[in-house]
């Protein structure tokens, strides 16, 4: 398929704009080089080797992953300095230990004293240390011990003092920036997460404990506030496929049916092709249809999407069967997760395929 136009693809197909991915990756690298902050890109959106190479500038060092399957995949392909940024699950402690003993640097994360006990029960060989980040909830409301809880400082102290364990840093995710409207709101959340994380690290210093700090999310790292230069690391990920109001990956689909009795088109992309993320969140349904602002993806089943005009009757002569349409997904991570392969193009010409890892 290499050298052929996008229209040569069978649909549904997830396509990635290589030039934009490279440009976005370069910008993020340069932005944090200037700020003097270590960029640790997150792999969860794409889970491919090729994109990881682009995001690390070819170093294959200093990445974050969301699953142990990703960690193993990257470790097996020469990547190192991997942070498994997921409250260490008890069923996966042994596998984490093996990676910690095998790689130069494998790091885990936790937010509960029972998890620390699990690590202590499995000391690493050859005098190696568990490298542990404390996950802090600074308002994001998912994993993490709440920053203001006295328990948070106690847990950090316990990690720092535990035998065979090193407190590497304090880690906060500001996924709540995705709900923000505009740069000002994003920067307010980024500022709060940064301040709370840095204050926490300062408080630890007063107890004689020094460690790193990291915050992340694509919106906050696309519009960094000044104080972020005081962080040790940042860990955005989604930016390779998405920047605020810009999409680098989309799903190609074709018209496969006309339903004049319902004023609808059928397309060959159902929820297996783009996921159900975004239902009810966009005026155009689960996706936007590039170049057709009056079309709405009203519903999907496993292999079918129903499309209708936002207003007025559909002119079927504009959409003969076989018409190629481009869906811009509500959530690029969720759309990518449905595809066993991504088709990569440069200016509309296919240049290769990327195969993601899956599972846990």
Among 31, 46, 339, 343, binds a second copy (CB under 8 A): 339
Alpha carbons 134 and 112: distance in angstroms, whole number:
9
User: Is 105 among the residues that bind a second copy (CB under 8 A)?
Assistant: no
User: Is 1 among the residues that bind a second copy (CB under 8 A)?
Assistant: no
User: Is 141 among the residues that bind a second copy (CB under 8 A)?
Assistant: yes
Kindly determine how many residues on this chain lie close enough to bind a second copy according to the rule CB under 8 A: 60
User: Is 75 among the residues that bind a second copy (CB under 8 A)?
Assistant: no
Contact predicate 354/48, CB 8 Å: yes
Alpha carbons 23 and 299: distance in angstroms, whole number:
34
**Stretch near a second copy under the rule CB under 8 A, chosen from 3-11, 21-29, 56-64, 72-80:** 3-11
Angle, CA of 351, 352 and 357, to the nearest 5°: 150
- Restricting to residues 216-245, which ones interact with a second copy according to CB under 8 A? none
Nearest distance from C-beta of residue 341 to a second copy, angstroms: 7
Neighbour-count burial of 246, counting CB atoms closer than 10 A to its CB (0-12 exposed, 13-18 middle, 19+ buried)? exposed
Per-residue DSSP letters for 29-58?
A: HHHHHHHT-EE--B-TTT--HHHHHHHTTT
User: Is 67 among the residues that bind a second copy (CB under 8 A)?
Assistant: yes
Among 15, 71, 115, 325, binds a second copy (CB under 8 A): 115
Neighbour-count burial of 291, counting CB atoms closer than 10 A to its CB (0-12 exposed, 13-18 middle, 19+ buried)? exposed
Residue number with CB closer to a second copy (310 or 321): 321
User: Is 268 among the residues that bind a second copy (CB under 8 A)?
Assistant: yes
Nearest one of 87, 52, 41, 49 to 68, comparing CA atoms? 87
**Stretch near a second copy under the rule CB under 8 A, chosen from 49-57, 158-166, 241-249, 276-284:** 276-284
Nearest distance from C-beta of residue 268 to a second copy, angstroms: 5
Residue number with CB closer to a second copy (182 or 359): 359
Q: How far is CA 192 from CA 93, 140, 188, 196, 304, in A?
A: 32, 11, 6, 6, 43
Nearest distance from C-beta of residue 248 to a second copy, angstroms: 18
Alpha carbons 49 and 326: distance in angstroms, whole number:
26
Nearest one of 5, 6, 18, 12 to 249, comparing CA atoms? 18
Alpha carbons 56 and 53: distance in angstroms, whole number:
5
Residue number with CB closer to a second copy (32 or 236): 236
- Restricting to residues 166-185, which ones interact with a second copy according to CB under 8 A? 175
Among 17, 50, 137, 308, binds a second copy (CB under 8 A): 137
User: Is 262 among the residues that bind a second copy (CB under 8 A)?
Assistant: yes
User: Is 276 among the residues that bind a second copy (CB under 8 A)?
Assistant: yes
User: Is 122 among the residues that bind a second copy (CB under 8 A)?
Assistant: no
Among 92, 131, 235, 296, binds a second copy (CB under 8 A): 92
Q: Phi and psi of 132, rounded to 5°?
A: -120, 130
- Restricting to residues 22-51, which ones interact with a second copy according to CB under 8 A? 44
Among 81, 303, 352, 353, binds a second copy (CB under 8 A): 303
Alpha carbons 282 and 286: distance in angstroms, whole number:
6
Nearest distance from C-beta of residue 257 to a second copy, angstroms: 5
Q: Give the DSSP H/E element, type plus range, for residue 96.
A: helix 93-102
Residue 23: which residues within 8 A CB-CB, separation 6 or more?
none
Nearest distance from C-beta of residue 59 to a second copy, angstroms: 25
Sign of CA dihedral 91, 94, 95, 99: positive
User: Is 17 among the residues that bind a second copy (CB under 8 A)?
Assistant: no
Q: Which residues contribute to the site for a second copy (CB under 8 A)?
A: 9-12, 44, 66-68, 86-87, 89-92, 95, 111-112, 114-115, 137, 141-143, 146, 149, 175, 254, 256-259, 261-262, 266, 268, 271-273, 275-277, 279, 301-304, 306, 320-322, 333-334, 337-341, 358-360
């Amino acid at each position: 398929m290499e050298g052929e136009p996008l229209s040569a693809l069978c649909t549904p197909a997830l396509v990635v704009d290589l030039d934009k991915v490279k440009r976005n990756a370069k910008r993020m690298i340069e932005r944090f080089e200037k700020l003097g902050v270590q960029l640790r890109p997150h792999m969860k959106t794409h889970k491919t080797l090729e994109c990881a190479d682009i995001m690390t500038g070819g170093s294959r060092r200093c990445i974050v992953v969301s699953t142990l399957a990703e960690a193993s995949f990257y470790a097996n392909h020469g990547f190192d300095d991997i942070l498994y940024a997921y409250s260490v699950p008890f069923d996966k402690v042994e596998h984490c230990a093996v990676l910690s003993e095998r790689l130069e640097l494998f790091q885990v994360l936790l937010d509960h004293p029972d998890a620390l006990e699990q690590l202590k029960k499995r000391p690493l060989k050859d005098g190696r240390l568990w490298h542990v980040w404390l996950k802090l909830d600074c308002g994001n409301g998912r994993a993490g011990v709440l920053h203001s809880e006295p328990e948070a400082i106690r847990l950090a102290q316990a990690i720092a003092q535990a035998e065979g364990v090193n407190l590497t840093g304090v880690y906060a995710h500001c996924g709540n920036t995705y709900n923000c409207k505009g740069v000002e709101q994003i920067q307010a959340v980024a500022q709060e997460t940064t301040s709370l994380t840095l204050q926490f690290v300062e408080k630890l210093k007063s107890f004689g404990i020094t460690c790193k700090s990291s915050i992340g999310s694509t919106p906050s790292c696309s519009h960094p506030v000044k104080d972020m230069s005081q962080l040790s690391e940042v860990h955005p990920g989604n930016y390779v496929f998405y920047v605020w109001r810009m999409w680098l990956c989309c799903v190609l689909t074709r018209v496969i049916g006309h339903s004049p009795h319902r004023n609808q088109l059928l397309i060959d992309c159902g929820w297996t092709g783009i996921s159900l993320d975004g239902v009810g969140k966009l005026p155009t349904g689960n996706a936007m249809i590039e170049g057709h602002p009056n079309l709405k993806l009203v519903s999907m089943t496993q292999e079918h999407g129903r499309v209708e005009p936002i207003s007025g009757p559909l002119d079927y002569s504009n959409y003969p069967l076989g018409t190629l349409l481009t869906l811009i997904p509500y959530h690029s991570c969720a759309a990518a997760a449905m595809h066993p392969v991504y088709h990569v193009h440069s200016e509309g010409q296919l240049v290769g395929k990327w195969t993601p890892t899956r599972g846990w």
